Amino acid sequence: MKAGSNLEKVFESGQFAVTAEIGPPQSANPEPLTHHAKMLKGYADAFNLTDNQTAVVRLSSIASAVIIMREGVEPVIQMTCRDRNRIALQSDLLGAAALGVKNVLCLTGDHQTFGNEKGAKNVFDFDSIVELQVFDQLRTQGKQVGGEVLKDPPKTYLGCAENPFATPYEYRASRLAKKVAAGADFCQTQAIFDMDMFEKWMDEVRARGLDKKIHILAGVIPMKSAGAARYMKNKVPGMIVPDHIVDRMKSAKDAKGEGIKLCVEQIEHLKTVKGVHGVHIMAVAWEDIVPRIVEMAGLLPRPKFES
Amino acid sequence: MIVAKRKPLNEIAEMLAPYKKVTVIGCRSCVAICLAGGEKEVKMLVSALKVKNKRDGRKQHIEGTVVERQCEKEWVQEIEAQILDSDVTLSMACSLGAQTIGDMYPKHLTFPGLNTGMFGVPEEQGVWSEKCVGCGNCIIHTTGGICPIARCAKSMLNGPCGGSANRKCEVNLEVDCAWAAIYDRLKLQNRLDLIESVTPAKDWSTSHSGGRRVFEREDAKLTPHQKKGKGVT
Amino acid sequence: MPDTRPKIVGFCCERHGMDAAVLAARSGKQFEASVRLVQVPCTGRVDGMHILRALEDGADAVFVLGCLEKNCYYDTGSIEGRKRVGYVKQMLSELGLEKERVEMFNAASSNSWVFPEIVAKMVEVVKKFGPIGGEKR
Amino acid sequence: MNAKIQVLLCKCCSEVPELLNIAKLEKLASESGNVLSVMTLDALCDGKELAMVVAEARIKEIDRAVVLACQKKDVSPALIKAYKRVGVNEHLVQIVNIREEVVLPHAAEQERAQAKAQTMLLSALARSRLLQPLERSSEDMKTRNVVIVGGGVAGQAAAKEAAKYGVHTIILEKTGKSVTAPGVVMPHATLIGGKGYGGNFELKIRVGESLEDLGAASVVIASGGGWSTLKGALAKAVRGAMPLYEFHQKLHAEQTSAGTVVFMDTPDPAGKTLKVQDYAWDETLETAIELKRKHPETAVYVIFQEMRASGLSELAYKEAAELGVKFVRYDRSATPKVDPKDPTTLSVKDLTQGDELKIRLGTMVFASIPASPDNQIIAEALRIPMSVDGAIRRGSIQRGPVSTPKPGVFVCGSALFPKSREVAAAEGQAAGKLAGEFAARGSIEFGGIVAQVTQEKCSACLTCVRTCPYEAPFIGTASKAEIRVQACQGCGMCVGICPSKAIELHNYTDDQIMTESKTLLGGDF
């Protein structure tokens, strides 16, 4: 065990993992986090706390993690390279570990032009792969990137994200391979709507034997409306939503219901894809729906381990 | 102007080692003026590499040439044959020149011979110092004509930090504190009132932080009708 | 077996540099016949390229000989010469070549022993390092 | 162009054939390309064979020559003159010093000497083929003015000497003091700017309140030292402290006050503002002697860290000691001090005797002369270099001891470093002579081996402009470098440093230099 987190235990026990996302609020009020933690407890193995997602200022992911941990829920904190240099990133990793956070997801981060602080000066001292490499060295050897060796290294389970749908597609499996080499233990994919394309990517991942080296969590997004489908198809870079899905959402009488149904179908399918070790449910601003989807997808009860 | 510095020769030699035919291309603009990649440097580099090859018993054909401005296609085109006739081009221009050649001849290998450093001022013969970082939003009319973004190690906007001692920068005691210089200048100009006003957060979206920048001037651009060759029909 | 001998090129300024060589000869000094002199008006005329090219063309060592720095006919010429030689030394070091193969010297035209010493020093350098890219001679 | 080369082999009074095989050299020469004539001579320097040489040159329509002989200085003037008569350009006559480079130093190694001589011949031929004929031109001087900056001892001596050459001397004296000298003396006049080159300077001067232009063929800097800038802790602490110059004047005018006189090296003994050689020891000793002779009852001390009494001044040191002048040597670690509460007592630890002296001060005189602050302005006006301590810097001794690096600008007296009036006057005379001679020529010659810019290659980087000691390169109206040939001395510094390789030196081009070295390396060693 690298960190002994619940998520790590699920993966190591060979069971199909479930993670979900909780977006920290745009306020100093911890209430929404507590509310979601209470509501989602027992429906997923760990919960992702986004790090100022889309460069919108939100309650910090480490603080959010601590808040949900009080409710007995395991966090995965996201750490982007956009706002912190190597000093801050390493420091925050130590801080998070000290607070009991065991899962860290390394991300480069969305550019600030997408958010609400467009005038910000970005950092990008690292990219996600360097971040993984540095964190891996820090946890295994206790060695900082600058060379200094720390007494008590953090025990952290390291994750990464990968998008099979971003161009150039040929680069995508290589990116995952690099992340594996850099020390990632698990990987969350971008939301999958185009199953054929995802499977093609997985073919390549398997051909390279990467599925044996990293636990892949397939990303899914339940959609509330046809508008959401269209938005993701047209506006979100690096996301592919096939026409048949947009059409299906459009022609549905109960769009929400259809969205849930679609999501469950997708999870059912993903369970059959060799090398997929779990799903990651990104119910953006619709966290309440997660229990229902998990239940409908037959993923309950979630495994429990002696601590 | 753009200030660059030659890469250590061992690094260059190593880069070029696998190739049989090398063309070294200098530039007569900024890098010539900052003594990094003009004709003289090209010739010396070619000769030095040949001496090294002689020592190592390596057979490698190296020749050098210079263009007026390597960052512009028209000038590079003049030596197209020479570029394409070689296995690799070592650009002795700033990275702009190297990338121009690379973009023009994507199959061809173009390697950098220089490390492009900064926008610098030739202070005196052999000394260049950074005075601008190209933030895209100049404020020096409020700072006595001295840029704190480039000349302060912390790019501070509201005066000197607490590490300033003897009017020198804490990061490098050889370097003058930018804000000490700004203070002196404002005092000289009778504009010390400016040091009292709080400069708010800078908008970095005009800098590289806002993404790669492309400047365009519609009135200067050639219309498709004006372009030679591939215009409209 | 002429190729077993050191090959040394000296760029000498036509003021004190050449004069020092001439005076040495006129004073009856003998020195290695391996040295070949190229006259330049001033060592400030010497370009690093000349030195490197001489090494390329077969010289095992190259020296530049100018006026004393405080007494250079062209005022600052031998200072310039020294800087050029220094830059070539740096280039050679960067390439892992022996920087000792290239040297700057200054002489007064009234000094008869300095030139033979320079030649002897350069011969020693070649003896130590051998030819560039060959067996030690 | 097809070179037609004549090769002359001088036996140097048969020194050469003792070692070298002349026949082999002759053969090698005659078998080389472009060589139309090969002649072996007994002794080129005695001139007897010149007629024969040029006769042959005329017949063969020779345009250039390679001469294997001895040092250029010894053979070239007569030879070049002779060749000139048959139309061979002086810059195409190449002298190869076979005697001092081969025959004399390699006397014991016949075989290697022969190989070296042959290689040198081939190399000279290779270079010869690349040489270009060069012409020299001349320009009339617009004026015969010799402008002398400073009307002190040195300046007056300079004017007097220069006037002997029939030139027009003009002394710029910054004060209103009376100056005895031939020519024009302009009181309250200072040099503030200028341009041009030796022979045709255009100076800017300030006379009283007005600015004027003044042409000059040559300039003498005789601006003196910086007596007036005497500063330092001791000078401030002691009332009545004065520079040597002032004391000297007082002594002459019988205005010295009674009491002990202390001559000290510097008012700033712990400082680094002045160098030892800047102390006017000669004049200090002379003044102390004069004082002691006039007022034997006066106690006189000379306090110093290091005394450099040069040459015969050593005798003055002896004489002063005999007259009762006390010499006290101190160390920088224990500098003489004046108690602020009692500024009339100077404490000093005598390094030689080891005891602490307390001297009751009457007058304190400082022997140091800081460089004059005027030097800065003068040096900038004439665009000449200064030494690090602020004095005017002399050029190479080969150009003469009173020459600056700039042709036509001479310097004398304390503008160089502090010195006695006698030495200053002698220097003034020397500078005046050179400046007078220079201006009397009436025209300047230039051209020949000078730099030339290939403007298409020039990046206008200013490197040449900054590097040239003579201000020959400038950025012209085309925004490219140009060479002011009148100022170019042909050193090639700009050529060697130009990052764009846009400058070449006539007949020392890269190609010519590298062809020479390559050919030299191609032969047997």
Identify the pLDDT of residue B164.
86
Of D462, D466, D500, the CB nearest to B40: D500
**Per-residue pLDDT, D94:** 95
For residues B106 and B148, membership in a common domain is answered with no
E runs forming strands in chain A? 17-22, 46-49, 75-80, 103-107, 157-162, 186-191, 215-220, 276-281
Q: Which of D50-54, D304-308, D321-325, D389-393 shows the lowest per-residue confidence on average (mean pLDDT)?
A: D304-308
For residue A210, give the DSSP letter: G
pLDDT per residue as tens digits for the range B7-49: 999 999 999 999 999 999 999 999 999 999 999 999 999 999 9
Q: Is B40 on the interface with D (CB under 8 A)?
A: yes
Calculate what percentage of chain B has a pLDDT beyond 70.
98
Name the pLDDT band for A2 (thresholds 50, 70, 90). very high
Question: Is C22 an interface residue toward D (CB < 8 Å)?
Answer: yes
**CATH number of the domain within which D157 lies:** 3.50.50.60
pLDDT of residue B233: 46
pLDDT band at B165 (very low <50, low <70, confident <90, very high): confident
Residues D110 and D9 in one domain: yes
How many Å is the maximal CA-CA distance in chain B? Answer: 69
Residue A39 belongs to some domain of the structure: yes
Q: Which residue is closest to B27 within chain D, CA to CA? A: D500
User: Which residue from D515, D98, D524 is spatially nearest to C21, judged by alpha carbons?
Assistant: D98
| Ramachandran area for residue A117 (φ above 0: left; ψ -120 to 50: alpha; else beta) | beta
**End position of a domain, from candidates D108, D134, D160:** D134
Beta carbon pairs, B and C, within 8 Å: 50
Chain D nearest C-alpha distance from B155 (Å): 30
The verdict on B93 and B25 lying in the same domain is: yes
pLDDT of A274: 97
Domain annotation covers residue D517: no
Number of domains in chain B: 2
**What's the rounded Cα separation, in Å, for the pair B32 and B26?**
8
Select from C47, C52, C133 the Cβ nearest to the Cβ of B48. Answer: C52
* Calpha distance A178→A98 (Å, rounded): 28
Angstrom distance (rounded) from CA B72 to CA B98: 11
DSSP-derived 3-state class of residue A56:
coil
Instruction: Based on the fold, state whether residues B43 and B142 are members of the same structural domain.
Output: no
Whether residues B143 and B79 fall in one domain:
no
Please check whether residue A275 lies inside any domain of the structure. yes
Q: Can you give the residue range of the structural domain that contains B147? A: 133-195
Q: Are residues B113 and B16 in the same domain?
A: yes
In this structure, what is the dihedral angle of CA atoms D165, D170, D171, D176, given to the nearest 10 degrees?
140
Predicted local confidence at residue C137, as pLDDT = 46
Chain segment D436-450, per-residue pLDDT in tens: 999 999 999 999 999
Q: Which residues pair with B6 in a beta bridge?
A: B114
Q: Select from D293, D261, D266, D270 the least CA-distant residue to D278.
A: D266
Instruction: List all residues 6 or more positions away from A11 whose beta carbon is below 8 Å from its beta carbon.
Output: A17, A185, A186, A215, A277, A278
Q: Token pair of D246, please?
A: 């002032």
The residue with tokens 């429990």 is A304
B114 and B6 both lie in a single domain: yes
Report the DSSP pairing between strands D363-366 and D409-411.
Answer: unpaired
Using DSSP's 3-state secondary structure scheme, residue D264 falls into strand
d(CA A197, CA A209): 18
Name chain D contacts of B40, Cβ cutoff 8 Å.
498-501
Same structural domain for residues B104 and B150?
no
Range of the domain at D29: 5-134
Task: Return the bridge partners of D7, or none.
Answer: D38, D66
Percent of chain A whose predicted confidence (pLDDT) is above 90: 95
Position B159 in a domain: yes
Residue A287 has pLDDT above 60, yes or no: yes
Q: Is the domain of B137 the same as that of B86?
A: no
Report yes or no on B211 lying in a domain: no
User: Is residue D214 within 8 Å of residue D203, measured between CB atoms?
Assistant: yes
Same domain, D291 and D332: yes
Q: Are D386 and D240 in contact (CB under 8 A)?
A: no
Q: What are phi and psi of B5, to 5 degrees?
A: -140, 140
* CB contacts, 8 Å: D120 with chain C: 36
What is the enclosing helix (H) or strand (E) of D6?
A: strand D5-10
Global pTM reads 0.86
pLDDT band of residue C3 (cuts 50, 70, 90) is low
Q: Is residue D394 part of a domain?
A: yes
Which of B89, B118, B147 corresponds to the end of one domain? B118
Domain count, chain D: 4
Q: In sequence order, which residues have a C-beta less than 8 Å from that of residue A50 and are 6 or more positions away?
A: A21, A22, A23, A24, A58, A61, A78
Peptide bond into A301 cis (omega under 30): yes
Where is A293: in which H helix or E strand? helix A290-296
Residue D430, amino acid: A
Tell me: do D35 and D112 sit in the same domain. yes
| Residue D215 and residue D311 in one domain | no
Backbone angles phi, psi at D450, to 5 degrees: -130, 165
Q: Is the pLDDT of residue C71 over 50?
A: yes
Q: Is the pLDDT of residue A25 over 90?
A: yes
DSSP state of C125: H
Mean pLDDT over D317-341 rounds to: 87
The reply to whether D505 touches chain C by the CB within 8 Å rule is yes
Q: In this predicted model, what pLDDT tens digit does every residue of D483-516 receive, in sequence order? A: 999 999 999 999 999 999 999 999 999 999 999 9
DSSP states along D450-517:
-EEE-GGG----SHHHHH-TT--EEE-TTSSEEE-TTT--S--HHHHH-TT--EEETT--HHHHHHHH
CA atoms within 13 A on the CB side of B207: 18
Average the pLDDT over A139-165 and give the result. Answer: 96
User: Is residue B223 one of the residues assigned to a domain?
Assistant: no
Residue carrying the six token digits 């140009």 = D482
- Is A302 part of a structural domain of the chain? no
Query: Domain check: are D95 and D163 in the same one?
Result: no
| Boundary-marking domain end, from D84, D102, D134 | D134
Domain membership of residue A108 (yes or no) is yes
Distance CA D385, CA C12 (A): 25
pLDDT of B64 > 80? The answer is yes
Query: Do residues D415 and D378 both lie within one domain?
Result: yes
Residue D1, judged by CB atoms within 10 A of its CB (0-12, 13-18, 19+), counts as exposed
- Residue D216 and residue D255 in one domain: no
The CATH number of whichever domain residue A209 belongs to comes to 3.20.20.220
Q: Taking 50 as the threshold, does the pLDDT of residue C2 lie above it?
A: no
Tens of pLDDT, residues A194-204:
999 999 999 99
- Chain A positions touching B203 (Cβ under 8 A) are 118-119
Q: Write out the DSSP string of chain B.
A: -EEEEEPPHHHHHHHHTT-SEEEEEEESSHHHHTTSSSHHHHHHHHHHHHHHHHHHT---EEEEEEES-TTSHHHHHTTHHHHHTSSEEEE-S-HHHHHHHHHHSTTSEEEESEEEEEEEEEEETTEEEEEE---SS--GGGTTT--HHHHSTT--SSS--TT-BTTB-SS-TTSBPHHHHHHHHHHHTT-GGGGGSPP----GGGSGGGS------TTTSPPTTTSSSS---
Q: What is the mean pLDDT of residues C53-70?
A: 96
Q: How far is CA D488 from the centre of its chain?
A: 16
The string of DSSP letters for A101-165 reads --EEEEE----GGGTT-TTPPP--SS-HHHHHHHHHHHHHH-B-TTSPBPSS----EEEEEE-TT
Touching pair A, D by Cβ (3+ pairs < 8 Å): no
Instruction: State the residue for tokens 């009860």.
Output: A301
Same domain, D241 and D342: yes
> Is residue A301 situated within a structural domain?
no
With respect to residue D515, please indicate whether it lies within any of the assigned structural domains: no
Number of domains in chain A: 1
Least confident of B81-85, D340-344, D348-352, D468-472: D340-344
Q: What is the CA radius of gyration of chain C?
A: 14
If you ran DSSP here, which 8-state letter would residue A306 be given? -
The residue segments making up the domain with residue A238 are 6-296
Identify the helix (H) or strand (E) that includes residue D375.
helix D374-382
For B47-62, what is the mean pLDDT? 96
Residue B216 falls inside a structural domain: no
Backbone φ and ψ of C50, nearest 5°: -60, -40
Q: B205, A113: Cβ pair inside 8 Å?
A: yes
What does the DSSP assignment read for D82-120?
A: HHHHTT--GGGEEEEEHIIIIITTTTT-HHHHHHHHHHH
Count of helix runs (H) and strand runs (E) in chain C: 4, 4
Return mean pLDDT, chain B: 94
B44 and B106 fall within a common domain: yes
The 3-state DSSP class for residue D293 equals helix
Percent of chain D with pLDDT over 70: 94
Distance separating alpha carbons of residues B132 and B138, to the nearest angstrom: 9
- Residues A223-275: pLDDT tens digits? 999 999 999 999 888 899 999 999 999 999 999 999 999 999 999 999 999 99
The answer to whether D and B touch (≥3 CB pairs < 8 Å) is yes
Sign of torsion over alpha carbons D32, D37, D40, D45 = negative
Which chains lie within 8 Å of chain C at 3 or more CB pairs, if any? B, D
Q: Is the residue at B99 inside a domain?
A: yes
CB C95 within 8 A of CB B13: yes
Q: What confidence score (pLDDT) does residue D422 get?
A: 80
Q: Residue D365 in contact with residue D263, Cβ under 8 Å?
A: yes
Q: A285 in a domain, yes or no?
A: yes
- Please give the radius of gyration of chain D, using alpha carbons only, rounded to the nearest integer: 30
Burial of C100 from C-beta contacts in 10 A (0-12 / 13-18 / 19+): middle
pLDDT recorded at residue D240: 73
Which residues does chain D have within 8 Å of residue B28's beta carbon, measured at their own beta carbons? Answer: 457, 459, 500
Question: For residue B61, what are the contacts with CB-CB under 8 A and spacing of at least 6?
Answer: B20, B21, B22
Closest partner residue to C34 among D120, D518, D525, by Cβ?
A: D525
Cis status of the peptide bond prior to A168, with omega within 30 of 0: yes
Does C58 score more than 50 pLDDT?
A: yes
- CA D13 to chain CA centroid, nearest Å: 37
Q: Decide if A290 is inside a domain.
A: yes
pLDDT over threshold 80, residue C23: yes
Last residue of a domain, one of D134, D168, D191: D134
Tokens 């970082």 locate to: B133
Q: Which residues of D touch B43 (CB under 8 A)?
A: 501
Q: Is D97 exposed, middle or buried (0-12, 13-18, 19+ CB in 10 A)?
A: buried
Average pLDDT, chain A: 96
Summarize the confidence of residues B220-233 as an average pLDDT.
76
Residue D47, classed as helix, strand or coil, is coil
Domains of chain C (ranges; CATH) run 7-128 (3.40.50)
CB atoms within 10 A of CB D236: 12
C-alpha C97/C-alpha B55 separation (Å) is 8
pLDDT at D313 over 60: yes
Residues B12 and B58 in one domain: yes
Q: CB under 8 Å to A29, separation ≥6 — which residues?
A: none
What residues of chain B lie within 8 A of the CB of C48, using their CB?
A: 40, 44
